[in-house]
Structure 1
Amino acid sequence: MKELRFEELSVHYGGRRGGLTAVDGVTLTVPPGQVVGLVGESGSGKSSLAKAAVGLSPVSAGRVLLDGADVRRLPKGHRPLQMVFQDPYSSLDPRMTVGESIAEAMPRDAYRRASERREEVARLLGLVNLDPALGGLRPSRMSGGQRQRVGLARALAGRPDVVIADEVTSALDVSVQGTVLNLVKDLQRRLNLSMLFISHNLAVVRYVSDVVAVMYLGRIVEAGPVAQVLGDPQHPYTRDLLAASPSLHDSDLLADDPAATGDAEPADPHDPPAGCRYHPRCPLGPAVHPGRTICGTTDPGDDADRGVHQVACHFPGAGIDPRQPRA
């Protein structure tokens, strides 16, 4: 069990004068042995944050720490962070058998004999509820659910301290999503893994996570224990995500003026708005309450609550006096 921490992390694509800052100064902790669910709509920066942790996206500022050690300075060949990708059809090499793909991820010095590697491949396939005989097949002979389980086995082959699961059920048929989710949850508990679980599905996050973090336009806007954040959301963006998932909430979770949020287009990530990035869509901000100019001028993240339930909003919660910002 180890702690994964993103410390003021930024990911920028393109040149200095242009391009896109997909992740902007994010600080987020995945506690040892816990699952942190990261949610947000497409383009919020979730996958860029995950890829930065495993070295697949450029880190333009900040650090990714594993028990306090910068992951970019760890010894070569040591892969304490492993990632399971969204698309099981493109994440496996079609020229390699399933067994070869899993064996490739094993630490080089752990299994020197071919027989030892075969035994470990068989063990890992059994761990993800696949017949070890499937190790001789190529991915094209397998279903999407089977391929995703192979992806899990391949990640576990690296003996990771932390697993990052990026939308691991979104490309699967509904009929097999539950099977993969139950497997992920079971493996995390049995192996006592720390996990960053990325999804746009709040029902999935509620099911597998201990902590949830909500991301919008490259920044974390709310984070805390899953029961608190999804049961009593304080940020209007979180409330709007819940409002888009009727099965998760009652009608009283809807924002002050749903029409001011749900139908509004997200801001341009190449040119995010000043102040609170959500304020052009926010039912608690100046779009509905013209007197709340602070939302368009001051970043609420500068004074965000750093307690157990964190929220970056000038007017958190429901029923707040519209004339007064947060104390």
Structure 2
Amino acid sequence: MSELRFEDVTIRYGSRRRGMTAADRINLVVPDGSIVGLVGESGSGKSTLARAAVGLTPVSNGRILLDGQPLAQRTGRRRPVQMVFQNPYSSLDPRMTIGDSIAEAIPKGTGSTKRHQEVARLLELVELDSSRSDAYPTHLSGGQRQRVALARALAARPEVVIADEITSALDVSIQGTVLNLVRDLQRELGMSMLFISHNLAVVRYVASTIAVMYLGQIVEYGPATQVLSDPQHPYTRDLLAAIPGTEVGLNSGAAGIVPVAIAAAEPGDPHTPPTGCRYHPRCPVGPLVDADREICRTTEPDHRHRHAAACHFAVADVLTPSGTTPLSEDLTS
């Protein structure tokens, strides 16, 4: 496996006058042999970044590098970055057996006997019986289809795998099984993976590093244990607060002011994002609460704080005060 690096990557859709910037000057590294979790709410630009990495979406500015070499300059038929898509019910061709779907991704030049053996090996690697190779996707559950999608991605012998919300379409009862498989594959194969999700608890279970994305920008980045136990950006705190059983304290003024101000606030428009800090129209520690913090409206923050948090007033409050429950390490319990 290899290192995937995004350098000042900007991705725009539409025309200059009526277009939208889905990813804005993204700098992100997926180190060799590690899993980086990319988290954020719907519309933050996570999937756009993933599609750019596999060549499905053009990059407007910046570079995507694999081991220091631009992906656009990589030669050969094999795609070094492979993607597992969100919906297991639409990512497989219903007219092909799962064996044929996996075999289709195996590099050209592999003989038929070795191809058959490789399909069997990959099915067993994702904990499916090799005898299921003749089955059609309609004969499989959602969790089994997602395992097949993982096997097909690995069949191409990629250097980096991108998993885009691979558990969000699955029942809660089988999400843990797929996540355990991802962790086992990472340990066994040393996979480099960008794991995308809107669920911080899911990302925490598989990733060693977390990047938080909001309105096309990375607002916090750092080791998973540190980001989740000592979040610096208010948006990260709000994502954590949305997890049942987790409470996040914020030093944000008089009691009652924050709930009223935030409830009336509108999320930023991705077509015309707010000036300054993009989170300030919803921020519980910004100008909605403290009028002296006008800098949040006018000046874009840098990433100088702990965990590269892009916030003018990054602070460290207690994540799990007495009587609350921290994020679980085991989603299968």
Quote the offset at 1:79 in angstroms: 1.4
Whole-angstrom CA distance in 1 between matches of 2:64 and 2:265? 34
Q: Distance in 2 between matches of 1:255 and 1:243?
A: 15
5 Å-filtered alignment, 1:261-300, equals 261=262, 264-300=265-301
Residue-by-residue CA offset, 1:20-50 (whole Å, 9 max, x unaligned): 2111110000111111100000000000001
Partner of 1:58: 58
SS in 2 for 1:272: coil
Q: Percent identity?
A: 65
Whether 2:31 is the aligned partner of 1:31: answer yes
Which whole-Å CA distance do the structure 2 matches of 1:299 and 1:293 have between them?
11
Structure 1 counterpart SS, 2:63: strand
Q: Report the CA distance shift for 1:254/1:54 in structure 2 as closer, same or farther (over 3 A).
A: farther
Distance 2:40 2:18 in 1: 24
Q: Is the 8 A contact 2:237 2:248 kept in 1?
A: no
Look up the equivalent residue of 1:17 and give its one-letter code. R
Residues 239, 254 of structure 1: 8 Å contact kept? no
Distance 2:114 2:316 in 1: 59
Instruction: Name the structure 2 match of 1:116.
Output: 114
What is the Cα deviation at residue 262 of structure 1?
6.0
Identify which of 247, 252, 256 aligns with 2:249: 252
Counterpart for residue 165 of structure 2: 167
What is residue 324 of structure 1 aligned with on the other side? none
Aligned match of 2:139: 141
- What does 1:217-256 align with in structure 2 at a 5 Å threshold? 217-247=215-245, 249-252=246-249
1:277 partner letter? R
| Aligned-residue CA RMSD (Å) | 1.6
TM superposition shift of 1:19: 1.8
Residue 195 (str. 1) matches residue 193 (str. 2): yes
In structure 2, distance between residues paired with 1:260 and 1:245: 22
Whether the 8 Å contact between 1:46 and 1:215 is mirrored in structure 2 is yes
Q: TM-score, normalised by structure 1?
A: 0.92
Q: Indicate if the aligned counterparts of 1:243 and 1:253 stay in contact, CA closer than 8 A.
A: no
Secondary structure class of the residue paired with 2:211: strand
Q: Is it true that 1:178 corresponds to 2:176 in the alignment?
A: yes
Q: Given the superposition, is the C-alpha separation of residues 262 and 201 from structure 1 closer, same or farther in structure 2, using an over 3 Å criterion?
A: farther
1:57 and 1:259 mapped to 2: Cα distance? 40
SS at match of 1:102: helix
Contact 1:233/1:239 (<8 A) preserved: yes
Partner of 1:128: 126
Task: Choose from 129, 132, 152 the match for 2:150.
Answer: 152
Q: In the alignment, residue 311 of structure 1 is paired with which amino acid?
A: A
Which deviates the most, 90-99 or 40-49? 90-99
Amino acid at match of 2:164: D
Give the secondary structure class of the aligned counterpart of 2:249.
Answer: helix
1:11-30 equivalent positions in 2, closer than 5 A: 11-30=11-30
Residues paired across the two proteins, number: 313
C-alpha displacement of 1:214: 0.3
Rounded Cα–Cα distance in structure 1 between residues aligned with 2:295 and 2:262: 18
- Aligned counterparts of 2:40 and 2:252: Cα–Cα separation in 1: 17
The answer to whether the 8 Å contact 1:236/1:255 transfers is no
Amino acid at match of 2:304: D
The 2-side partners of 1:259 and 1:206 are apart by 31
- In structure 1, stretches of 5+ residues that fail to align are 320-327
Match of residue 304 from structure 1: 303
Contact 1:211 1:223 in 2 (8 A): yes
Deviations 1:50-69 (A, max 9, x none): 11000111211111101101
The aligned counterpart of 1:87 is 87
- Could you tell me how far 1:259 is from its partner in structure 2? 4.5
What SS does the corresponding residue of 1:163 show, helix, strand or coil? Answer: strand
Counterparts in 2 of 1:48 and 1:255: CA distance versus 1, 3 Å: farther
Q: Which amino acid aligns with 2:218?
A: I
Any idea what the Cα deviations from partners look like across 1:172-217, whole Å, max 9, x if unmatched? 0111111000001110111001110001111111110100000000
Rounded to whole Å, the distance in 1 between the matches of 2:280 and 2:238 is 13
Q: Give the letter for the 1:49 counterpart.
A: L
Give unpaired runs (5+ residues) of structure 2.
318-333
Structure 1 segments (4+ residues) deviating >6 Å? none
